Amino acid sequence: MQENNKEEIEKMRDESRTETMRAVSSEIEKILYKPIPVLDHGFIRVIDYMGNDSSIVQAARVSYGVGTKRVQEDRGLINYLMRHGHTTPFEMCEIKLHVKLPIFVMRHWVRHRTANINEYSARYSVLSNEFYIPELEQIARQSETNKQGKSDVAMDTAKGQKVVDTLDDFSKSAYEKYSHMLDDLGLTRELARTILPVSVYTEMYWKIDLHNLLHFLKLRADSHAQYEIRCYANKILDIVKAWVPFTYDAFVNYRQNAVSVSRKCIELNKRMLKGKKITQENSGLSKGEWQEFLTAFDLRDLIS
């Protein structure tokens, strides 16, 4: 993090806060402005937020004020909204994060085009000498079946260490040449930056509404997502839990740990409950769908 940002954040945290009439979340207030470490040099910081669980309930009921509904009824309504895909009430809540992350993770992040982003500019400012170097246990071979993922088989320690050393040496060398072109040759920052690898850290402010944030988390906190962005997504999940606990519970129950079931899969379950034998051949599912069906309902040991 840049030094001027540190001073700014400390000043904001030291300022006395006046009473407010707006909806607040007591747990997220405790972590406001505080950096939450991610990876080796990254962090997430909550800069601002709007709304809480009651804001979602209020929007759904199209009413004003706290009202007379009990807490349990509020929780039930949020569960109903999540379960039936009523997304608009969740859009009433927003959050703004300050994120420090490797550029290659940023490239995954900006695929979600439903947020407002302002990124640190390497055209106008000099990038810091900080690069993501993965931990040894994250070094693995390319998967032979998944073109965009790593194998479940870890690389042996000696080769893994060579990978770490190579990444570290290359990063240091790239930054030395970057500094040389800036300081000794007088090259423009916008061209000098082109020599740096995508492991260099950048920063951004990212503002998004809760509905679209949950969509981001559904994809990026998934076990199939790349490890590095998953680390950030899991930290944001903790933030959501502190911010809107009822919504967090509903999301985990109805979306994150749930599966979408096709009409064919429903029929297969009905046939099984009636004692009929089902196989991939008579299921009407492709091999991929069949494997997903067995996994979703933990049927591998029951159906050969």
| CATH code for the domain of 47 | 3.30.1360.170
pLDDT in tens, the chain (304 residues): 455 566 766 666 666 566 777 888 999 999 999 999 999 999 999 999 999 999 999 998 875 455 545 667 889 999 999 999 999 999 999 999 999 999 999 999 999 999 999 999 988 999 999 999 999 888 887 766 555 666 666 778 899 999 999 999 999 999 999 999 999 999 999 999 999 999 999 999 999 999 999 999 999 999 889 999 999 999 999 999 999 999 999 999 999 888 888 898 889 889 988 888 888 888 889 988 888 888 888 887 777 5
152 three-class SS: strand
Residue 303 maps to a domain: no
Of the residues 151, 167, 195, which one is the last residue of a structural domain? 195
- Shared domain check, 61 and 188: no
Q: Is residue 48 part of a domain?
A: yes
DSSP 222: S
- Other CB atoms within 10 Å distance of the CB of residue 39: 20
Query: Furthest-apart CA pair in the chain: how many Å?
Result: 79
Q: Would you say residue 233 lies in a domain? A: yes
Three-state DSSP at 262 gives coil
The verdict on residue 301 lying in a domain is no
Same-domain check for residues 238 and 274: no
Asked whether residue 65 falls in the same domain as residue 109, the answer is: yes
Burial (Cβ within 10 Å: 0-12, 13-18, ≥19) of residue 104? middle
Q: Are residues 47 and 68 in the same domain?
A: yes
Q: Give the CA angle between residues 208, 213, 215 to the nearest 5°.
A: 140
Taking the C-alpha atoms of residue 289 and residue 192, their distance in angstroms, rounded to an integer, is 48
Same domain, 217 and 78: yes
93 within a domain of the structure (yes/no):
yes
Domains held by the chain: number: 3
- Cα 303 to Cα 276: distance, rounded to the nearest angstrom: 12
Q: Are 166 and 70 in contact (CB under 8 A)?
A: no
Residue 122 sits in the same domain as residue 146: no
Residue pair 133/199 in contact by the 8 Å Cβ criterion: yes
- Tokens coding 290: 């069949």
Range of the domain at 269: 263-296
Rounded to whole angstroms, the Cα distance separating 262 from 289 reads 10
Check whether residue 39 and residue 145 sit in a common domain. no
Tokens 């004003």, residue? 64
Asked whether residue 189 falls in the same domain as residue 275, the answer is no
83 has catalytic annotation: no
Instruction: Tell whether 77 and 94 lie within a shared domain.
Output: yes
302 in a domain, yes or no? no
Burial of 69 by CB count in 10 Å (0-12 exposed, 13-18 middle, 19+ buried)? middle
In the beta sheet, which residues pair with residue 100?
43, 203
Same domain, 252 and 267: no
Note whether 29 and 124 are same-domain residues.
Answer: yes
User: What's the CA gap between 28 and 244, in Å, rounded?
Assistant: 9
Are 84 and 38 spatial neighbours (Cβ–Cβ below 8 Å)?
Answer: no
Q: Do residues 31 and 90 share a domain?
A: yes
From the candidates 220, 255, 263, 271, give the one annotated as an active-site residue: 220
Q: How does DSSP classify residue 156?
A: P
Please answer whether residues 201 and 100 qualify as being in contact, where contact means their C-beta atoms are separated by less than 8 angstroms.
Answer: yes
Q: Report if residue 304 sits inside a domain.
A: no
- Point out the domain boundary residue: 154, 169, 195: 195
Residue 46 within a domain = yes
